[in-house]
Copies of this chain bind each other. A is one copy, B any other.
Amino acid sequence: MAAKPKYLTIANQLEQDILIHKYQKQLPHLDQLALIYQTSKVTIVKALSFLQYKGIIKTVRGHGTIILTATEIELAKKDNANEHVGFTERIKNSEFLTSNIISFDLREPTEKEAAFLKIGKSEQVYDIIRQRLLNDFPVRLEYTIMPVKVIPGITKAVLEKSIYGYIENTLQLKVGRANRTFRADKSDAYDQLYLKCAKTDPVFEVEQVCFLSSGLPFEYSQTRNRYDQGELTLNQV
C-alpha cells in the first residue's frame, strides 16, 4: 500500500504524462480521468488542484483543463522561494558550503530585537556573526540573534555544524513558519571585508524572523548576500 494519498499518486502520474506529451494541450474531462484512474471525481479535482498549484496546468470552469506551455512550466520550476526557507543552513547539491565564525557572544537584546523575538529586554540572546563560503568563496554574512531561553546550549561546535540540525535533532524542536523581507542595501565596511566586495557593490539583504512550530519566535537574522550571489525568483498568478 502506497503511503501517499491517491490524489498525489495520480497527480504525479499526470505530471509525468504531461512531460512526455501523452496529452497535448488539454487533459481529458474529469469524469474520463476518474474512469481512467478508477477513482471518484473529487479525487481527480484534488489531484488537478495540486498540479495547478505547481504551475503545470490551469483549469477553466466550463471549458476544460489546459496544460500550460512548455515555457511557463519551465519558468515555474525556477521558483526558489522555498530554498530560502532555512536559507541559513541549506546546502545545495554537491556544493561545499562552510562557515567561518566571526563572533559569538551573549548579550541583552536591542529594543528592535526584543520586539521581533517577543522577549523582555533583560532576557539574554546569542549574538552570532558568521561568514558563509561556497567553495571557499565568501557569499554571505549572517547576523543571527536567538534567545538563550528558547534555544539553550548553543556552542561554537554547533555553529560550525548546523544550528537547524541542533534545534531539530538535539533539542527536538520543530521549525515552523518564517517571515522574510528582501531588499537591496549599500554595503558597509564589514560587507566589504567579509564578502570581498568593492565599496560601490550593493548587497542583497534578507531579514527574517523564524518561529518554532509552537509559535515561539526563535531567530531574528539579517543575511547580507553578495549581490552577484543571491537572488529570488517567484512564479505567480
**Interface residues in chain A, defined as those with a beta carbon under 8 Å from any beta carbon in chain B:** 55, 58, 68-69, 71-72, 75-76, 78-79, 81-82, 84-85, 118, 176-186, 199-205, 209, 211, 213, 215-217, 225, 227, 230-237
Residues of B within 8 A of A79 (CB): 179
A81 and B234 contacting across the interface, CB-CB below 8 Å: yes
Please judge, given known A-B contacts A177-B237, A233-B180, A235-B177, whether A186 and B201 are in contact too, CB under 8 Å.
yes
Residues of B within 8 A of A118 (CB): 71
B200 and A183 contacting across the interface, CB-CB below 8 Å: no
Residue of B nearest to A66 (CB): B215
A179 and B78 contacting across the interface, CB-CB below 8 Å: yes
Please judge, given known A-B contacts A85-B237, A237-B85, whether A72 and B177 are in contact too, CB under 8 Å.
yes
Contacting residue for A179 out of B217, B230, B231, B233, CB 8 A: B233
A184 and B181 contacting across the interface, CB-CB below 8 Å: no
Residues of B within 8 A of A209 (CB): 75
A211–B209 alpha-carbon span in the complex (Å)? 33
Please judge, given known A-B contacts A68-B215, A71-B118, A202-B184, whether A179 and B234 are in contact too, CB under 8 Å.
yes
